Amino acid sequence: MPVPFLLSFQSEWLKQRHSAASWIIAGGSLLIPVLFLGVRLYHAADLPAIHTAPRFWEQLYNQTWQIMGAMLMPLGVIVVTSLVTQLEFRNNTWKQLYTTPQGLTTIFFAKMAVILVMVLQCFVIFNIGFYITGVMPALLVKGVPYPAEPLPFLRMLMGNGKFFIACLPIVALQYLLSLQCRNVLLPIGIGIALHITSMLALRWEYGYILPYIYGSLSFLEQGLKHNYPMNIQLLALGHFVLLVAVSFVLFIRKKDKG
């Protein structure tokens, strides 16, 4: 990996380290695990039966990701991508950034790389919270056994991979919008509107054309039984590549970059 890119990435990472986006990643990632843990501890009498169920981890995975993957994760990606991209607009530092010895290509992809790493960070924090939700009741409540079923690590890893790929088109389109708009509320508003539209279009046979729909489709693809032109993850990757290419061209050709 080229040294200029690494230096640019490091600089962009330091900018967002104490930003609102970082707090959203940390808090949003733990929201669902904390809520589920609280509900389970409140209904402690049900815990022994839950923890000895043969599909304990699968049920917990489905329950948490149904909310996280289809609703909260896309919203979080919309907000975080917009906030990180808009840092230069808010601080009025675009012109200062362009005077540094780095090309437009380096700036463009370094900022995007920071956003993608933050999304990965969200997945890591969420999965830690998910595991704690599963085992903590056994440590806190007397008579509650450790989950009898072993953690299906590989299956969960594959599921996380699908949801991460589903987030990529959202990152790409929000990045495109945020680079073109000075007001952070505009890309966030457009993103939320498109996310709601995507949720309403879930049962539409051509819903796959909407970049924000893949989180829900990844969870519900077997139940919907649509004949998509190709694998959902490939469709999401295709959207991502196309939107990144369009965003890059618009960024390079933008006359007013300040």
pLDDT in tens, 163-180: 999 999 999 999 999 999
* Least confident window among 69-73, 113-117, 193-197: 69-73
**Percent of the chain residues topping a pLDDT of 90:** 44
Return the H-helix or E-strand segment holding 230.
none
Q: Which of 125, 133, 23 is nearest to 83 (CA)?
A: 23
- Using the CB atoms, write b or e for 224-239: b if 16+ within 10 Å: eeeeeeeebbebbbeb
Is 228's pLDDT higher than 80?
Answer: no
pLDDT band for position 96 (cuts 50, 70, 90) = confident
pLDDT digits (tens, 9 = 90+) for 181-190: 888 899 999 9
